[in-house]
Structure 1
Amino acid sequence: MAELLKAIKGMNDILPPDSARWEWLEDTVRALMRRYGYHNVRTPIVEPTALFVRGLGEVTDIVEKEMYSFEDSLNGDKLTLRPEGTAGVVRAINEHSFLYEGGKRLYYIGPMFRHERPQKGRYRQFHQVGVEVMGFAGPDVDAETILMSAALWRDLGIEIGTDVKLELNSLGQPDERLAHRAALIAHLEAHIDLLDEEARRRLHSNPLRILDTKNPAMQPVVESAPKLMDFLGEASLEHFQAVRRTLDVAGIPYRVNTRLVRGMDYYNLTVFEWVTERLGAQGTVCGGGRYDGLIEQLGGKSAPAVGWGLGMERLLLLIEELGKGPAPRVPDVFAMTLPGSDAPSVVAALESLRAQGVQVVLNPLGKDGPASPKSQFKKADASGAHYALVFGPDELAQGKVAVKPLRGGGEQVLETLSDVALWGPRLRAHRS
């Protein structure tokens, strides 16, 4: 026997019935995007490595530790499996001059790849939903993207303020961050003995990320560090206040978290995260913000942009923890073929039903013909179907089929197959 091949660690198969939950989430997302006027964008899974080095920052965890990068054996190109979606969308926007006619509202759903230690809800191949709004500079768009994420929680039955909580901050503009950076480095150097190895390594390359440390021993140093908010100018503060006013009017509760910095270098002004404590330690379910400099940084004409991303695996874990999600998927009809029935006639009749939108599962014939009626009725009941169609030889000879309700009572009746357009839709009426 050949050796059994298995999936790569941290890259998982999604099989029924779990796949139905994924489809339900994807359908919910797509319906939300249509309500807000967003259009789907699809970019390659493999991109030039330089795209992420330039876009995310050389000293980010993603670029330093987590990317799946390799050299193309044919031409020597340095390539990377995409670790996130924004940089690829910006690359596509620039390459196709997609903002030439004005701003765009875009979304994507797809797999991403990071080489990290697999754990529940965090895998090496994971899936993201992301939105990117490009070409609009106003704080109203920042607020709209946040409100759209809040609408998604409501659509999924997730309670805002209890199941998920919104944290908000402003990173200001590059010159304001430079002034804060100098003050932050001075503060951290004054407490160098209290910094761990990771913080010392980042002290001069990316000190802002030190504020996001989870090391308890460093919390006093972080808490007493200069706050970026104190370095923001009038325009940045007004932008932030405008976002807050819109959220207040919309009734979305939030907490201003001055330590919220996000993991990529490209953010400016508004940043936000939706966090939960329902999955054990507090974790981020969705996060994003404004990144006005990234389009130009990646070779395009300067344009403002804002967006967010969420990990589908982690969100599905939260939905499961809350006892939410779709009802089990069951067919409308389970079709049974009795001994002596003409199988081609049965298959043709079921195709007529499916053309009426009826969801039909046919119990397949075995190599020795149909199973016993008792066995088939047992399978019909286990399928969860609302009706059984019983194709017997006598009924088929008359052009009829027996329709037996399996849920909610009712009598078995005979229906004429040539009149399927009249009675077929009744078999799916339970869905409404």
Structure 2
Amino acid sequence: MSKTLQAIRGMNDLLPEQTPLWRYFEGQVARLLDGYGYRQIRTPIVEFTELFKRSIGEVTDIVEKEMYTFEDRNGDSLTLRPEGTAATVRAMIEHGLTGGGQPQKLWYIGPMFRHERPQKGRYRQFHQIGVELFNFTGPDVDAELIALTWRLWQQLGLAESVTLELNSLGTAQSRARYRDALVAYLSERLDQLDEDSQRRLKSNPLRILDSKNAQTQALLVDAPRLEDYLDEESRAHFAGLQARLQALDIPYTLNPRLVRGLDYYSKTVFEWVTDQLGAQGTVCAGGRYDALVEQMGGKQTPAVGFAMGIERLVLLLETLGKVPDELARQVDVYFCAFGEAAELAALQLSERLRDALPGLRLAVNAGGGSFKSQFKKADKSGAHFALILGDEELAARQVALKPLRDDSEQQTIGWEALPEHLAACLAQVK
């Protein structure tokens, strides 16, 4: 017997009962970004592997362990994108969109791929919404990114369940000085480091700062502090960001060990974290990457951005009970028709209603059925109202309108008056 076909581990189906919440969340974010003047960009999910080696860094965990990389028929090494910033930067350079100091405010949405151990809120195919800004140098846009995410949490009812953590990594030069000091300190205590941190000491020592190993964290208490190595420009930038957040009454905490997992970050880095999802606490993160465009072959271009994980934020909404009740409703109105002539008339009337009431969610019963069976379908759909058309209503050019969610009386409405009357009834229940 052949093996039952299944989805690849960590790459999940999104079923019809789940998609309303996803569409709700994505719609909230899209409208918010439109309101701040951001424009959407869409890039391929497959890129040349070199793009990610050059941008993310060859000695990062993502490039070394987690990427889905393969050779195509031409012998080119291709990779399913593990994150969205590199592809956006590539597109900016390729199409000349960063030249001449031209400012860009962009956002994207789509699947990303990393070969990690799947767990709740963390998958091998996962989805992100990201924002990338180019040719903005000051802390004002850093603050804007944080402000719009703060507004999103308020709109979604999550503001009390997330915390903002901030740090500054400084410029590449100041970070290099700090790196040397940290390596010197930890090298003297090499035998006290966990195995993973010993490996990172040679390849990416700053990542040791966010080690989850308790012994390593204890060792870091007396380690050199990154803030002591910051240049004056980075200090001023970070102070400017904090001043703006304070002016906006956005609460935050300083986390000197926040470094992020990608090599391209500089100056500001931030994370929105929650304690409601267990180990998968980061729901949105980002920062500045002022050197990345030049590093990838473009002209020197200041840049900043963030990405948020849709799976984790949807899970957070579910965990906290912040899912709007309306999302469980498939349609607003269910049209029941009995008999061939009534079915034809219902088909015509339904199209007239859709013309008159844009956005109306109207389902017309298909496949016939008894009065009882059609009403069972109407109730299951979650509709507020059922429209009923039988021989008597057809002869009188009327439709019966029956409320399904309360004990209000059934009404009879003429065909011509139906759009206006139905609109008024729906306005009362929404």
Provide TM-score, normalisation by structure 2: 0.95
Distance 2:118 2:275 in 1: 20
Distance 1:340 1:208, change over 3 A: closer
Deviation at residue 421 of structure 1 after TM alignment = 4.0
C-alpha separation in 1, matches of 2:35 and 2:390:
48
Alpha-carbon contact 2:55-2:295 (below 8 Å) kept:
yes
For 1:377 and 1:421, the matched residues in 2 are separated by: 22
Give the whole-Å Cα distance in 1 for the aligned partners of 2:420 and 2:321: 39
Aligned to 1:245: 243
- Deviation per residue, 1:9-31 (Å, 9 max, x gap): 11011112111000000000011
Q: Secondary structure at the match of 2:298?
A: coil
The letter for the 1-side match of 2:137 is A
Distance 1:206 1:422, change over 3 A: closer
**Once the two structures are superposed, what CA deviation does each residue of 1:164-188 show, in whole Å capped at 9, x if it has no partner?**
1111000000111111111111101
> Hey, what's the Cα distance between the residues in 2 that align with 1:184 and 1:319?
40
Q: What is the deviation of 1:395?
A: 1.7
Q: CA deviation at 1:431?
A: 5.4
Once the two structures are TM-superposed, the CA of residue 425 in structure 1 deviates from its matched residue by: 2.3
Asked whether the equivalents of residues 340 and 392 of structure 1 are also in contact (C-alpha less than 8 Å), the reply is no
Q: Which residue of 2 aligns with 1:297?
A: 295
Displacement of 1:99? 2.2
1:427: how far off?
4.5
Report the counterpart of residue 24 of structure 2 in structure 1: 24
- Find the counterpart in structure 2 of residue 398 from structure 1: 396
Corresponding letter in the other structure for 1:373: F
1:122 — aligned with what?
A: 122
Identity of aligned residues (%): 53
For residues 2-401 of structure 1, the aligned pairs below 5 Å read 3-73=3-73, 75-100=74-99, 102-159=102-159, 162-281=160-279, 283-327=281-325, 328-339=328-339, 341-355=341-355, 356-357=357-358, 358-365=360-367, 370-401=368-399
Structure 2 stretches lacking a partner, 5+ long: none
One-letter amino acid of the counterpart of residue 304, structure 2:
V
Distance change (3 Å), C-alpha of 1:11 and 1:216: same
* Structure 1: gaps of 5 or more residues: none
Q: Distance in 2 between matches of 1:228 and 1:269?
A: 11
Q: Secondary structure at the match of 1:277?
A: coil
Say if 2:226 and 2:256, in contact at 8 Å, map to a contact too: yes
**Residues in 2 aligned to 1:329 and 1:380: alpha-carbon distance in whole angstroms:** 11
Shift of 1:325: 1.8
Cα deviation digits, residues 283-325 of structure 1 (max 9, x gap): 2111100000001111111110001111110111111111102
- Aligned partners of 2:164 and 2:251 also within 8 Å: yes
Q: CA RMSD, aligned part only?
A: 1.6
Deviation sequence 1:126-178 (CA, Å, 0-9, x none): 0001110111000111111111111111111012xx41111100000011111
Rounded Cα–Cα distance in structure 2 between residues aligned with 1:241 and 1:342: 71
Conserved 8 A contact 1:352-1:420:
no
Seen in structure 2, the aligned counterparts of structure 1 residues 318 and 169 have a Cα distance that, compared at 3 Å, is: same
- Structure 1 residue 4 displacement after superposition: 3.0
Q: Which moved more, 1:286-295 or 1:420-429?
A: 420-429
Q: Which moved more, 1:2-11 or 1:208-217?
A: 2-11
Deviation for aligned residue 1:335: 1.0
Residue 87 of structure 1 aligns with an amino acid whose one-letter code is A
- Conserved in 2, the CA contact under 8 Å of 1:56 and 1:264? yes
Distance 1:336 1:106 in 2: 46
What is the letter of the counterpart of residue 79 of structure 2? T
Aligned partners of 2:152 and 2:332: how far apart in 1? 29
SS at the partner of 1:204? Answer: helix
CA distance in 2: counterparts of 1:197 and 1:4, whole angstroms: 40
Report the Cα offset of residue 282 of structure 1: 6.5
